[in-house]
Structure 1
Amino acid sequence: MSSTPPEQKDAFTLYDLKVSAICPEGKQQICGAKPGDHFILQGELLYLPPGQGFSIYSLAAVLPLLAAKQRENHRNDWIESDALVACPDPNCKSVLKIERVGRRTFSHAETTHVGLDGNHEDIPGS
């Protein structure tokens, strides 16, 4: 997270996300998920609670949606309302729930070497 003031010209905000396993009671979880399993996404960093794992296949199913969920989209866009992702194993009944749990401000200059004008600052002639 950056301490960039929101009024700074290159500032932008992203939502922090919590992705939780929702496990139907009495159903076997093929993916290894347990009720309460989750991870937090803050910017580009993913955090798991100590001692908890997360299926790479479940992660692969939800990963393509996370960057869009971190951003504010048009209110009519489906990404604003839809928050459940099925486990990729068709025999598993668990789902992953994506929740917005906070916001962070970042600085463009602190996240890339490409200038706001699209020029690469460290490549001669770009």
Structure 2
Amino acid sequence: MSGETFELYDLRVEVVAPEGGPIYCGAKVGDYFELRGEMLHLPKDQGFSIYSLASVLPLLAAKQRETHPADWMSTDADVACPDPNCSTRLRITRMEKRVFNHADTTAVPMPKEVK
């Protein structure tokens, strides 16, 4: 990679829940979305609760980046549903890495000392 490229993991966020656990967010076990770069992708005809999305959204940019193996961001994958009575968890799984070019992601030029 050059000094103007960087890698991010694609992510899959999937609904998991204990067998028979109550679900109040409108999800079904196995529902998911994928994050590829900055783009969110959902399967055809499947929705995703905005409240559930809000619970994982702050973590996604950090999960996309390489982290130290001992960092909790490298090991912890499940996020609780924001409804304390709902049994679902949202499991964030890192998938393949994707290479991005700085100039394709921002109008701000690279500092000369970084190039």
TM range (shorter): over 0.9
Q: Counterpart amino acid of 1:84?
A: D
Larger deviation, residues 32-41 vs 21-30: 21-30
1:115 positional shift: 1.3
- 2:78 paired residue number: 84
Cα RMSD between the aligned structures? 1.2
- What TM-score does the superposition give when structure 2 sets the normalisation length? 0.93
1:95 correspondence with 2:65? no
Counterparts of 1:87 and 1:113, CA distance in 2: 36
- 1:13 paired residue number: 7
Query: Structure 1 runs of 4+ off > 3 angstroms?
Result: none
| Percent identical residues | 58
Structure whose alpha-carbon radius of gyration is higher: 1
Unmatched segments (≥5 aa) in structure 1: 1-6, 119-126
Q: How many residues are treated as equivalent by the alignment? A: 112
After TM superposition, list the pairs within 5 Å mapping 1:1-126 onto structure 2.
7-117=1-111
- What TM-score does the superposition give when structure 1 sets the normalisation length? 0.85
Residues 34-67 of structure 1 show CA distances to partners (whole Å, capped at 9, x for unaligned) of: 0110000000000000000100000000000000
Secondary structure, counterpart of 2:74 in structure 1: helix
